[in-house]
Structure 1
Amino acid sequence: MKGKKLIAVAAGAVMAFTLAACSGSGAGDDSSADATTSAAPAESNGGDAAMEKGTIGVAMPTQTSERWIADGDAVKKGLEAEGYTVDLQFAGDDIPTQSQQIDSMITNGSQLLIVAAIDGTALSGQLEAAAAAGIPVIAYDRLIRDTPNVDYYVTFDNYKVGVQQATSLLVGLGILNEDGSEGDAEGPFNIELFAGSLDDNNAFFFFNGAIDTLQPYIDSGVLVVPSGQTEIEQVATLRWAQETAQKRMEDLLTANYASETLNGVLSPYDGISRGILTALSNAGYGPTIADGMPVVTGQDAEIASVKLINDDVQFATIFKDTRKLAAQAVVGALSFLDGAEPEANDTTTYDNGVKVVPSYLLDSDIVYKDNITSLLVDSGYWTADEVASGVAE
């Protein structure tokens, strides 16, 4: 596991980005063991002042994705810079583990919880206990559902992320230009669709934004889905797992592409994309887009996938600057701890089944090969050497 320094963000915090490869080996994969055990409560750099201010619990879903490690570290450092002790826990994608971790945070006197849920429907009991103890709860990038006891939601505009994923697929096929104007390609193009995990509320926003964008082209025959699998329940990927996506892509190729050529794949996440690309490579596609590799989308700008984009293997990803997300979570937490309501810029969209959760939405960007430098390198998110190597330093 390797660390990397990033530019300072809110409250003067310096983040440490760590690369942890997704499950299973695949294209662009830098393998490392999945950390399935929870982290020990974090020690603060704030000394006695931190102890006086108290402890904040931060529950992250997994260490198999570099972005969750980065998010956890960023939130921790931002809160420590404000003088709080942080109990940061990773749950190894195990729902009972995350439930137990949150129970422990409540029992041990956390003043506030920041939770990126593995299953957004599985924490009602924990959040009821938090509410009974007067502990505010911030849902971090994944909406917690079916409970009135979630107070604030920080995330990106996830419907827009899905629109951007579909748009990047259309750009890669030549149907659209990068500026959104009509391209020269007329099709028909064979595509397949992938979605995220059904227990993650964001998967639905991503897929809905994408399918709403692609559906007119499917209806007109410009895009064809030979498998016929166009419903989210058919195309979902449990736990966003790379190896699950690779197996499904292999099965799709075997069943539908003996005499057809696949032109593009909608993928909602870079780990899934690498599984797809491995299956495609093993089936004889590529090695690059110029050599016939289908257009494959992605999300999270993971360094292994950024290298693949730079090498003309993966076509695009969506950059969600999680430094800004972590900073907004810290701002929201400080508002609650000061007895105020944090700013929300969306109070209508995110209905969790019981209430509309006040939310703060951030913007995202499409990363193509030609804007890697301007979006990722110039901003300090990755260095040019990391892009070239595909490994975080």
Structure 2
Amino acid sequence: MKKRLLAMLMAGTMALSMTACGGGGASDGGEAADGGEAAEGAAKIGVSMPTQSLQRWNQDGTNMKEQLEAAGYTVDLQYAGDNDIPTQVSQIENMIAGGCDALVIAAIDGSALTEALKGASENNIPVISYDRLIMNSDAVSYYATFDNYKVGQMQGEYIRDALDLDNAAGPFNIELTTGAPDDNNVNFFFGGAMDVLQPYIDSGKLVVPSGQTEKAQCATANWSTEEAQKRFENIITSVGYGPDGVKLDAVLCSNDSTSYGVQNALQAAGYTADNMPIITGQDCDKPNVKNLVSGLQSMSVFKDTRTLADATVKMVDAIVKGTEPEINDTETYDNGTGIIPSYLCDPVIVTKDNYEEILIDSGYYTAEDVA
């Protein structure tokens, strides 16, 4: 905590001695959002995103850069290839060596940045862990994310209510899919959902015919659509699921990329919108919203990246100005060095019935985007 307080005090004066951030990334900022040059001596913020292969990270990076530049900061936005950890480590080290005054990092592997961030601690550079908590590093000053436990709860509650588990006789068949084992968020997504669903599994009202109920068994490397599809194809074959085979009532999927892989596998096995099981998701990726509208996916949890970017920019602004950022959680997120003060944004359930209001009327997508 002493380091965090010192970092905040130091950050207010560091704008007097700034140099350019490390280059070599996908996008190096330097102009304000209105097209004008950033003010001379403006603070320089390094933003590290994990990949451009998933839609949501492109949106996160773009929103972050636009809002930081609109606030008057110079931005070095970099993507680490396709979830390449050595690339992200190198980019972060370059940002530190190049004199960035604060770092916003969405980690590929929350435990892989301990050494890279020692330089941030030594140079009193504040670090905001973005969306995914960076573990085992005392360089992390704050955490900005959505309420990820609530995301999982929403998914579990949706399945509970759609199957009417409190009243229907059952039993119902369900399978479970979650994301990357090195992403700390999985603990909250999967944990939140299973806290809702586990009592029904224990009572026998929900049955997992594959027997794969542990987080490690249900994990998907890099949240990959292809890996999720392969795993689910194996489950379909081993259990005998199919429109004319063993009935599948629901699939818990922690996000949209894994959900899309599951849907691909089920469609290849003969399922259509008319007999598709209940399938959850998260992020409201465009292909998934299209499937949601057509009936192939039941719901997705929307995490408006504009909201998270706005909260993070306010956090950066407070840190650079030497004031206390707004936080609303001081109990939940321990990264191994202590509780990290956090700001949690609220997620929202999106279905076929409300997607226009939440996604299109808000300007997040156009009707053509998800037609």
- Tell me if 1:81 matches 2:79: no
Q: Letter of the 2:124 partner, please give it.
A: G
Q: How many Å apart are 1:353 and its aligned residue?
A: 1.1
Q: Letter of the 1:382 partner, please give it.
A: Y
Deviation string 1:148-205 (CA, Å, 9 cap, x unpaired) is: 1100000111111000111222233344xxxxxx5x6432111100111111000110
Counterpart for residue 47 of structure 2:
58
Distance 1:47 1:312 in 2: 45
Deviation string 1:228-281 (CA, Å, 9 cap, x unpaired) is: 111101110010000000000000011112652212110011111111011001
Counterpart for residue 17 of structure 1:
none
Counterpart for residue 157 of structure 2:
167
Q: How many Å apart are 1:95 and its aligned residue?
A: 0.3
Distance 2:26 2:370 in 1: 29
RMSD: 1.5
Distance 1:49 1:282 in 2: 52
- 1:378/1:223 Cα in 2 relative to 1: closer, same or farther (>3 Å)? same
Q: How many Å apart are 1:378 and its aligned residue?
A: 1.8
Distance 1:51 1:350 in 2: 37
1:196–1:268 contact (8 Å) kept in structure 2 = yes
2:93–2:117 contact (8 Å) kept in structure 1 = no
2:177–2:251 contact (8 Å) kept in structure 1 = yes
Aligned pairs, number: 342
Counterpart for residue 243 of structure 1:
226
What are the ranges of 5 or more consecutive residues in structure 1 without an aligned counterpart? 1-36, 176-181, 389-393
- 1:220/1:277 Cα in 2 relative to 1: closer, same or farther (>3 Å)? same
Distance 1:294 1:57 in 2: 43
Distance 1:71 1:161 in 2: 18
Q: Letter of the 1:244 partner, please give it.
A: E
Q: How many Å apart are 1:127 and its aligned residue?
A: 1.4
Counterpart for residue 133 of structure 2:
143
- 1:356/1:314 Cα in 2 relative to 1: closer, same or farther (>3 Å)? same
Q: How many Å apart are 1:48 and its aligned residue?
A: 5.5
Distance 2:27 2:291 in 1: 35
Counterpart for residue 10 of structure 1:
none
Counterpart for residue 28 of structure 2:
41
Alignment of 1:135-284 (within 5 A): 135-175=125-165, 185-257=168-240, 259-284=245-270
Distance 1:350 1:101 in 2: 26
Distance 1:271 1:49 in 2: 36
Deviation string 1:294-348 (CA, Å, 9 cap, x unpaired) is: 1111000111111111111111100011111000000000001001221110001
Counterpart for residue 132 of structure 1:
122
Counterpart for residue 20 of structure 1:
none
What TM-score, normalized to structure 2? 0.89
Percentage of pairs with the same residue:
52
- 1:48/1:70 Cα in 2 relative to 1: closer, same or farther (>3 Å)? closer
Question: Which deviates more, 87-96 or 249-258?
Answer: 249-258
Aligned partner (choices 327, 343, 360) of residue 360 of structure 1: 343
